[in-house]
């Protein structure tokens, strides 16, 4: 049995490479204006809130090629945080890459995907009431992931790809600080999460295109430092006065989240082996649903008041339930669990020619007890993201650019 840890030396070398290959300045976070009180407060007490930020300015050359300059705050890929739903983004992308590799006539992201179960811990999926034809598919699962961060949709793609494929692919692309090793919202043991359901793909006529048997991996993907979080946690309703063990939980460091978004937005800025191997059509599909607002979707259909515009758009808009003005588009993936709130975004203002990347993580758990649902999301975390997004947006409004960007590629039709 092979155990996969994150080697410290490799991790440090990759951090050094990531930091040194692009210009970095810390000035934007040196002094926060008083009109952003929560942002200033959190950055002053950054150790408590375990804050990390990556802000990337984009400047275009005369040919329109984007050049990146990074501004980081307390970025440290050695410090573990729980990535929550942000791990769904690479799994969604890799499902399209896997599909591209199959080279099977008729097999596409719209093909019917039927998931069976052969273990007591597994669940089947033979229908989907939210799709137009009432049947599941890779494409429909990706829509649900990117629109409202659906857990079941992620689980189905995780079961399709398996741990070996996901973790190998991420490392091949230079995203070295990722460990994906479990389903979400399904209480499974580490062993059960290494077993993957059998799957059958069919075309619209019911003909079988591909049959995948139940599989398992003998490798164990774990976090090297055996991270623990908090001082106590609830387990099956019982209080345990010990920190919670995250050794066999997912990891997706902020630089990897940021880098994943960058690779989809500007793949040409990366070496071919660092890119996701997907078609231009599939990239447009991802861009559409990364930026689409819940109310703009017909299948699946998401309605107010539960699914407001900023449901999964934390930067600048926070929990504001008012419509997001159409001049803005945010291509992103968020996460929210165990007191952690995350967002990795490419932010666009078409009217003012503004574009920038920003990713951030904050941990709000004042009583240091996990699974008690007593987190300071509304008091601290969401206002932090709203103020950080607004602060960076105002910096961009005031920043002079030699070349105004052509953002027409990202004016996706909905």
pLDDT tens string 378-397: 999 999 999 999 999 999 99
Which residue's entry shows tokens 């973790």?
A: 167
In which band, very low, low, confident or very high, does the pLDDT at 15 lie, cut at 50, 70 and 90? Answer: very low
Chain centre to alpha carbon of residue 29: 24
Chain centre to alpha carbon of residue 202: 29
Q: What is the mean pLDDT of residues 237-252?
A: 97
- What's the pLDDT at 10? 39
- What's the pLDDT at 47? 97
In which band, very low, low, confident or very high, does the pLDDT at 111 lie, cut at 50, 70 and 90? Answer: very high
Percent of the chain at pLDDT > 70 equals 94
Nearest to 6 by CA among 165, 220, 169, 224: 224
**What is the overall mean pLDDT for the chain?**
94
Q: Where are the alpha helices (DSSP H) in 183-311?
A: 254-265, 280-291
Q: What is the mean pLDDT of residues 62-84?
A: 96
Residues 101-128: b if buried by 16+ CB within 10 A, e if exposed: eeeeeebbbbbbbbbbeeeeebeebeeb
Where in the chain are the domains? 3-410
Query: What CATH architecture is 3-410?
Result: 3-Layer(aba) Sandwich (3.40)
Nearest to 359 by CA among 339, 379, 380, 330: 330
In which band, very low, low, confident or very high, does the pLDDT at 354 lie, cut at 50, 70 and 90? Answer: very high
Tokens describing residue 126: 């033979």
- What's the pLDDT at 288? 97
Which residue's entry shows tokens 């034809």?
A: 133
Would you say residue 2 has pLDDT above 70? no
The pTM (predicted TM-score) of the whole model is 0.93
In which band, very low, low, confident or very high, does the pLDDT at 413 lie, cut at 50, 70 and 90? Answer: confident
């Amino acid at each position: 049995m092979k155990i996969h840890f994150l080697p410290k030396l490799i991790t440090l070398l990759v951090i050094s490479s990531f930091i040194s290959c692009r210009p970095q300045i810390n000035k934007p976070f040196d002094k926060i204006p008083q009109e952003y009180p929560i942002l200033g407060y959190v950055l002053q007490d950054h150790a408590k809130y375990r804050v990390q930020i990556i802000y990337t300015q984009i400047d275009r050359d005369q040919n329109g090629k984007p050049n990146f300059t990074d501004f980081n705050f307390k970025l440290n890929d050695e410090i573990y945080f729980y990535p929550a739903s942000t791990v769904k983004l690479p799994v969604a992308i890799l499902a399209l890459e896997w599909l591209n590799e199959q080279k099977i006539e008729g097999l596409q992201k719209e093909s019917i995907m039927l998931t069976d179960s052969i273990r007591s811990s597994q669940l089947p999926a033979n229908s989907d009431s939210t799709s137009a034809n009432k049947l599941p598919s890779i494409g429909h699962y990706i829509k649900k992931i990117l629109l409202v961060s659906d857990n079941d949709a992620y689980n189905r793609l995780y079961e399709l790809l398996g741990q070996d494929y996901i973790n190998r692919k991420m490392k091949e692309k230079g995203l070295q600080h990722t460990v994906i090793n479990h389903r979400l919202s399904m209480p499974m043991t580490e062993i059960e999460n290494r077993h993957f359901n059998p799957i059958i793909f069919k075309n619209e006529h019911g003909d079988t295109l591909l049959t995948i048997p139940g599989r398992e991996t003998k490798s164990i993907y774990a976090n090297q430092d055996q991270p623990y979080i908090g001082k106590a946690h609830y387990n099956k309703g019982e209080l345990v006065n010990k920190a919670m063990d995250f050794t066999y939980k997912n990891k997706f460091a902020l630089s990897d989240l940021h880098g994943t978004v960058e690779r989809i937005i500007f793949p040409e800025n990366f070496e071919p082996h660092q890119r996701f191997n997907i078609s231009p059509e599939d990239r447009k599909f991802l861009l559409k649903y990364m930026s689409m607002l819940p109310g703009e979707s017909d299948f699946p259909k998401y309605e107010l008041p539960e699914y407001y515009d900023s449901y999964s758009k934390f930067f600048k808009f926070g929990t504001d339930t008012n419509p997001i003005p159409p001049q803005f588009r945010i291509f992103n993936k968020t996460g929210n669990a165990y007191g952690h709130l995350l967002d990795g975004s490419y932010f666009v203002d078409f009217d003012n020619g503004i574009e920038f990347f920003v990713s951030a993580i904050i941990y709000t758990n004042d009583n240091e007890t996990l699974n008690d649902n007593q987190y300071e999301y509304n008091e601290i975390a969401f206002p932090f993201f709203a103020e950080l997004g607004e602060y960076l947006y105002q910096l961009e409004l005031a920043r002079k650019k030699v070349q105004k960007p052509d953002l027409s590629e990202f004016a996706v039709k909905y």
